[in-house]
Amino acid sequence: MTTAMEDPSNAVHLWRSTPWAWMRPDETESTAIRMVLHDVEGAASAALSHASADLFPVVVDGPETTLPDVDDIARHTLAKLDLQPMRLDLNGAHDSTVNLDLRAAGHVAVGRLHIACKGHAVVHVHLSGDAGWCGIHFTGQVANGSTLSVVITDELHHESRVVRCDDWRVGRDATFETGTLSVGGFRRKSDLRHHLDATGGSVRIGLGVHGQESRHDDHHIEIHHHAGHTNSSLVANVACGGRSRSVGTGRLVIDAGADGTDAGQVFRNLLLSQGARADAIPELEVLADDVSAAHGAASASIDEGQLHYLMSRGLDNDEAAGMIVEGFLADAFRPLAAADARRALRDRLTVHLDCARIT
């Protein structure tokens, strides 16, 4: 069996909008997600190899005797299903880029990847395939003084169900930035956790989500400031059309003593049809005294003024709306410092929208 524990109830915050019953895999047999490393550019040294299970926060070892926390049920399930965790070791110089293709096939496809970064590197992860259910768990450690940019473009088959878990740890004076373009899959739950462990650490997160037809996309993003003089920013731009639904929850935790923290998160929803629905719930838990923490959320339909402006320049209604949506989603990635990362996300977005239905 996948797990001995009962499904979390709807009262559990993490699973309130997207019950685990919707997301758990139907089968216990799984296929490993195929990971191929290619196009290592610049001065990066990159090696993909098997990883030990203890690089992941939930370890399944022998017969199950204790039940995991309900918040970790997805991690637990992935740990039980995945027998071949991988690790990517990066020793990068400035401007080095690594491309990693993840291909998910079969009824249930599972992969876990740990990324360890020393130096400076951009990793472009392209997730694709037609798996009926896809579970992926990223963990990572950004070493002291290092900078890691991770771009994730997800173009799984439109009928796939997707569970993604992330656990990133950021060291002293290190920077982790990540951009995710979520356009694939029929139903998705992402539980992304980031930990700033030491002074001077920085996390920047950009998320662009495009909902079409009846797509359901739920992103839960946590940022934990364990040390003072750390900073974080989260920008989540969600455009929903058709009868799609998006849920975005942001949990920002600033530990006691983490003074000098500067953190902000903003969720913006663009509703493209009457049937679309988007909820954004930013949350703060501030236990330190001297911090700057801001959060905001807004939902709106396409601005008539913008539409008229673009139409007055010759674009028809659909072209104008498409340009506004593209700009809106791309704008989520503006905080990312790595130009390569922004460009990769932008290019993928343009290709996606060329074939997508906007409203």
Nearer to another protein, 45 or 306 (CB): 306
At its nearest, how many Å lie between another protein and the CB of residue 268?
Answer: 10
Considering only residues 309, 337, 343, 347, which one is a binding residue for another protein as defined by CB under 8 A? 309
Under rule CB under 8 A, how many of the chain's residues touch another protein? 25
Nearer to another protein, 137 or 352 (CB): 352
At its nearest, how many Å lie between another protein and the CB of residue 122?
Answer: 20
Q: Does 308 bind another protein (CB under 8 A)?
A: yes
At its nearest, how many Å lie between another protein and the CB of residue 353?
Answer: 12
Q: Does 267 bind another protein (CB under 8 A)?
A: no
Residues in the chain, overall count: 359
The angle subtended at Cα 35 by Cα 32 and Cα 37, nearest 5°, is 165
SS (H, E, C) the chain: CCCCCCCCCCCCHHHCCCCHHHHCCCCCCCEECEEEEEEEECCCEEEEEECCHHHCCCCCCCCCCCCCCHHHHHHHHHHHHCCCCEEEEEEECCCCEEEEEEEECCCEEEEEEEEEEEEEEEEEEEEEECCCEEEEEEEEEECCCCEEEEEEEEEECCCCEEEEEEEEEECCCCEEEEEEEECCCCEEEEEEEEEECCCCCEEEEEEEEEECCCCEEEEEEEEEECCCCCEEEEEEEEEECCCCEEEEEEEEEECCCCCCCEEEEEEEEEECCCCCEEEEEEEEEECCCCCEEEEEEEEEECCHHHHHHHHCCCCCHHHHHHHHHHHHHHHHHCCCCCHHHHHHHHHHHHHHHHHCCCC
Nearer to another protein, 40 or 207 (CB): 207
Considering only residues 2, 45, 306, 359, which one is a binding residue for another protein as defined by CB under 8 A? 306
For residues 285 to 304, the per-residue mask of contacts with another protein, x marking binding by CB under 8 A and - elsewhere, is ------------------xx
Nearer to another protein, 34 or 308 (CB): 308
Nearer to another protein, 196 or 324 (CB): 324
At its nearest, how many Å lie between another protein and the CB of residue 298?
Answer: 13
Nearer to another protein, 289 or 303 (CB): 303
Pick out residues in 112-171 that bind another protein (CB under 8 A): none
Nearer to another protein, 296 or 327 (CB): 327
Pick out residues in 311-350 that bind another protein (CB under 8 A): 311-317, 319-320, 323-324, 326-331, 334
The interface region with another protein, picked from 12-20, 176-184, 190-198, 309-317 by CB under 8 A, is 309-317
- Residue ranges binding another protein (CB under 8 A): 303-306, 308-317, 319-320, 323-324, 326-331, 334
